[in-house]
Amino acid sequence: MVDRQDVEAARRRVAELEGFYFHLAAYVGVLLLLTVVNALNSADGWWVQWVWIGWGIGIVAHAFAVYASRPQFVVNWERRKLRELVITSANGRKRLWSSNDCYGPAEVDKRTLAPGKPLRFSLNWAGRTSAPGSGSIRLCGALPVGIKTTRSSPS
């Protein structure tokens, strides 16, 4: 069976490749046109090489972003962001708590949730506040006051 995350990763990869190929095609097409224009109006001298070089740097950077392997710190950051749980105020404007304020054991914690049953777990505090600059310290595992428990209806 194909995992949904694998399918999403494959779709993102195809979109990255497609974006690069469209960028490359636009680069070649536009620059060929500009080269012809520059050749027909060469009284001003050659200027098109600067466009080739400038835009070419962008093409090389885009190719590097698509085809080169990412540094480990970027991969780790992406993984943290994908696993992050953020609790915000009801209107979504104020960040109240984030799971990235905590650190836990390196192993993966997989659980099957039963409908209508609360989930309880412990997290260790990493020494940062939950709301940067607020001066308040919220221990991980103890959610801030004012958060309502939401229960989904059993299917």
Tokens for 73?
């710190």
Domain parsing of the chain, residue ranges: 4-68, 72-100+119-143
Which residues, other chains included, contact 30 with Cβ-Cβ below 8 Å and sequence gap of 6+? 55
Find where tokens 């229960």 sit.
151
> How many Å apart are CA 130 and CA 53, to the nearest integer?
46
Per-residue pLDDT reduced to its tens digit, 110-142: 677 777 777 776 656 555 555 555 545 454 544
Which residues, other chains included, contact 121 with Cβ-Cβ below 8 Å and sequence gap of 6+? 109, 141
DSSP 6-69: HHHHHHHHHHHHHHHHHHHHHHHHHHHHHHHHHHHTGGG---HHHHHHHHHHHHHHHHHHHHSP
Per-residue pLDDT reduced to its tens digit, 12-56: 989 999 999 999 999 999 999 999 999 998 777 889 999 999 999
pTM: 0.48
